Structure 1
Amino acid sequence: MTNTVLRIDASARTEGSVSRQLADEIIAKLAPAKTITRDLAAGLPLMDAAWIGANFTPDEDKTDLDRQTLALSDALVAELKAADTVLIALPIYNFGVPTSLKAWVDLVARARVTFRYTEDGPEGLLTGKRAILAIASGGTEVDGPIDYATPYLRHILNFMGITDIQVVRSDRMAVDPQASSERAHEDIAQIAA
């Protein structure tokens, strides 16, 4: 049973967004779970030299400025750690993820925090969680040859230790909106509360 959902909305559209509508339906299915909402429509700051420097400074050597530089990243990671289900609602933009979602990934995929390197390779530190990807697209088929968003998200979530991933697809809406909607509702029906 889901206790806490981290809902991430990555569509730049706040009105008329299919991915947001799918997320609403999924949240309703997961009720009465607590929901933490992170709306990326306004964007997030991109990593820069100061952020990278602060991130790689050992904790005991971090200055107040380093901590301030990492404050948003720390808050995003805390949201991720607090959830047992991560719901990422996104459109496919130009065959990939929206830039705001890529910025979110860059801020939460942190060595020694959400993953670590071992002699056997990287190890995700966010085990025991599941993710639901609610994906909308006009012409790109989810998991088709030109979909770079879905495999990327699966990879990065696996990298951080989240291996239980379900996909809700409302894809190829510009081609056949009715079939797209039916696929999405079939996928939602498969989600366990």
Structure 2
Amino acid sequence: MTTRALILTSSILGENGQSIALADHFRTLAAERDGLEITARDLVADDLPHLTQPELASWQVPAAERSDEQHALASRSDALIAELNEHDVVVLAVPMYNLGVPSQLKAWFDRVLRAGETFRYTENGPQGLVEGKRAVILAVRGGQYAGTAMDSQTPHLKGMLGLIGIAEVDVVYAEGLAMGEAHREAALEEAKQAIEGLVQRL
């Protein structure tokens, strides 16, 4: 049985980004494993625009009734949701920018968190419609925030994933990367070892 993993990167530093390096490590290990297929999407290269009212409105129009402009606008969300549904694992390689997620990643979430498609509202609250999937967060930070009140990033990511039904989430932290070379190298090595264990379990 084949497991399909979707790796999403969102670092503005490109090849110099440590989150990119960890995503590449994940991909290299996955390539060595039978039965594990990888799709990679660079959200910085994709350059998704901020969500606008016309794009949001295009989702509310039945496909057969959309104008050409509405078809073009809705196709962004439709394609990203289809890609998500085709994979079993979502790997988010996430640098921390100003205590939050990169805006490029938020633009992706703004298009896959879609009422009626990936979740629905019920009398008991929202219900996720994306079933049978898990996620891995590769969290890269210059300082040390895990487990503190300043880590608004991890709960936010888990909350967005949970909204659409992805509750099984593993988090690999690489923290303190701006706190000296020795600390940086040790943190990255620990993260790589954690990734190796995760890939073996997928």
| TM superposition score normalised by structure 1 | 0.92
Partner residue in 2 for 1:119: 123
Q: State the Cα distance separating 1:126 from its structure 2 match.
A: 0.8
Q: 1:144 to 1:179 in 2, by over 3 A?
A: farther
- State how far apart, in whole Å, the 1-side matches of 2:2 and 2:176 are: 30
CA contact (8 A) 2:63 2:71 kept: no
CA contact (8 A) 2:15 2:21 kept: no
Partner residue in 2 for 1:40: 43
Comparing 104-113 with 177-186, greater Cα deviation is found at: 177-186
Matched, 1:64 2:60: no
RMSD across aligned positions (CA): 1.7
Matched, 1:146 2:150: yes
| TM superposition score normalised by structure 2 | 0.88
Higher helix share: 2
CA contact (8 A) 1:167 1:187 kept: no
Q: 1:54 to 1:187 in 2, by over 3 A?
A: same
CA contact (8 A) 1:95 1:140 kept: no
- State how far apart, in whole Å, the 1-side matches of 2:144 and 2:17 are: 16
The correspondence of residues 1-193 of structure 1 with structure 2, limited to 5 A, is: 3-31=3-31, 32=34, 33-42=36-45, 43-59=47-63, 61-175=65-179, 176-191=183-198, 192-193=201-202
- State how far apart, in whole Å, the 1-side matches of 2:150 and 2:136 are: 21
Comparing 22-31 with 103-112, greater Cα deviation is found at: 22-31
* One-letter amino acid of the structure 1 residue matched with residue 167 of structure 2: T
CA contact (8 A) 2:30 2:37 kept: no
- State how far apart, in whole Å, the 1-side matches of 2:196 and 2:16 are: 22
Q: State the Cα distance separating 1:134 from its structure 2 match.
A: 0.8
Could you say what secondary structure the match of 1:190 adopts?
A: helix
CA contact (8 A) 2:6 2:40 kept: yes
CA contact (8 A) 1:10 1:89 kept: yes
Q: 1:64 to 1:143 in 2, by over 3 A?
A: farther
- State how far apart, in whole Å, the 1-side matches of 2:63 and 2:119 are: 16
Q: 1:27 to 1:2 in 2, by over 3 A?
A: farther
